Amino acid sequence: MGANLDWGNLGFAYVRTPYRYVSDFKDGKWDEGRLTGEDKIVMSECAGVLQYAQTCFEGLKAYTTADGKIVTFRPDLNAERMENSAKRLEMPVFPKERFLEAVDKVVAANRDYVPPYGSGATLYIRPFMFGSSEVIGVKPAKEYQFRMFCTPVGPYFKEGVRPIVIRVSDFDRAAPRGTGHIKAGLNYAMSLHAIVDAHNNGFEENMYLDPATRTYVEETGGANFIFITKDGKLVTPLSDSILPSITRRSICYVAEHYLGLKVEHRKVKFEEVKDFAECGLCGTAAVISPVGIINDHGKEIKLPSGMKKMGEITKKLYDTLTGIQMGKIEAPEGWIREIK
Ligand code: PLP
Ligand code: COI
């Protein structure tokens, strides 16, 4: 029995689902963890997360496949990335095996909220961790909570899979040798002013350039870039200060091994962007969202793929990636984890 939701018209917004997973870290260890219906958190006003933003998170999705199974996509990579985020923020690591078990439990418990195959919606899973004990001098908390909830979502951008218009940002998202490569809440707090300002000016997202020289492409507030050259190569920006997107790493593999494309993961000069044939944003939430126009301080870079539809190669990447996620195309070994 599925939940009675209008699956086809969901946006990317929070819908409370019945169960979430919680584990607390106290006296140097994680407790055994539990599913709970309680969606409210009570903690000290002086908790590390509230004072010094000691928090990190992840994002992954569960899908209903063509043959009716419920699966998640490469959750092991989310567990590994969260481990890196936790270490950089002086937080305890939530063990990978336990992370995977928690994903299985949360999805299984909220099975009715996994959108049906073909609805265009998916179940977004949000694991996160935060310092819960009191901190007033600048130092890490002693106690933490790991939590994971899920919420059914539609497309991240309201256009769905139609091309979007973005702008080059004058704000920086991350510092050289900072925290851009981990999924720290603070990176997103940093980007809020820039995204509100972008939206107020009619743009869907910000293209951030490298903070040191402002000559290389980094990423947007919530996705990595993919570019297609006029001779059909996939190019993705390399930088120490962008998030290592699991979607981007998967697209690179798919491009090379399923579509036979040449793939270059390298530094991308902003100057080169005008010469690309197609551009897209990729991420768990964004999936692959095509970019039609990049506005550089009033000067428009119009991608030859246009504003009507996805570029041809971007579309092939999109169809192959989502085909793998939805069980229509055979996945590489280890990419799909079935929820029993
Ligand atoms: N870059 C940023 C800043 C993000 O927030 C995300 C979303 O997770 C991504 C890239 C895409 O990463 P992934 O494909 O692992 O979801
Ligand atoms: C994700 O794609 O999972 C993210 O965390 C991006 C966020 C902007 C929703």
Any domain includes 38: yes
**Residue 228 has what pLDDT?**
98
Same domain, 179 and 149: no
Same domain, 67 and 101: yes
Q: Please, which residues bridge with residue 280 across strands?
A: 226, 290
**Residue 32 has what pLDDT?**
98
Which residue do the tokens 């009619």 mark? Answer: 202
Q: How confident is the model at residue 51 (pLDDT cuts 50, 70, 90)?
A: very high
Any domain includes 97: yes
The number of the ligand 1 atom at minimal distance from the alpha carbon of 221 is: 3
Last residue of a domain, one of 128, 153, 178: 153
Same domain, 226 and 269: yes
Question: What mean pLDDT do residues 284-288 have?
Answer: 96
Residue 36: both structure tokens together: 């709970």
Domain that holds residue 308: 164-325
Question: What mean pLDDT do residues 287-293 have?
Answer: 97
For the chain, give percent helix, strand, coil, nearest 5.
25, 30, 45
Q: What is the mean pLDDT of the chain?
A: 97
Cβ partners under 8 Å of residue 107, min gap 6: 62, 70, 72, 114, 123, 125, 150, 339
Same domain, 71 and 171: no
Same domain, 169 and 111: no
**Residue 1 has what pLDDT?**
57
Domain count, the chain: 2
Any domain includes 197: yes
**Residue 190 has what pLDDT?**
93
Same domain, 126 and 179: no
Any domain includes 295: yes
Question: What mean pLDDT do residues 144-161 have?
Answer: 91
Any domain includes 2: no
C-alpha dist (Å) from residue 150 to 30, 34, 114, 174, 321: 21, 15, 9, 28, 22
User: Looking at 87, 139, 183, 299, which residue is catalytic?
Assistant: 183
Task: State the distance from the centre of ligand 2 to the C-alpha of 59, rounded, in angstroms.
Answer: 6
Same domain, 295 and 176: yes
Same domain, 193 and 269: yes
pTM as predicted? 0.97
Same domain, 107 and 22: yes
Q: What is the pLDDT of residues 216-275, one digit of tens each?
A: 999 999 999 999 999 999 999 999 999 999 999 999 999 999 999 999 999 999 999 999
C-alpha dist (Å) from residue 52 to 12, 82, 154, 241, 289: 28, 19, 32, 21, 33
Any domain includes 338: no
Q: What is the pLDDT of residues 16-49, one digit of tens each?
A: 999 999 999 999 999 999 999 999 999 999 999 9
Task: State the distance from the centre of ligand 2 to the C-alpha of 61, rounded, in angstroms.
Answer: 11
**Residue 161 has what pLDDT?**
80
Q: What is the CATH classification number for the domain harbouring 280? A: 3.20.10.10
Residue 76: both structure tokens together: 């092991």
Which residue do the tokens 């997202």 mark? Answer: 205
Any domain includes 337: no
Percent of the chain surpassing pLDDT 90: 97
Question: What mean pLDDT do residues 183-206 have?
Answer: 97
Question: What mean pLDDT do residues 101-105 have?
Answer: 98
Same domain, 140 and 202: no
Q: How confident is the model at residue 4 (pLDDT cuts 50, 70, 90)?
A: confident
| SS3 category, 264 | strand
The number of the ligand 2 atom at minimal distance from the alpha carbon of 59 is: 3
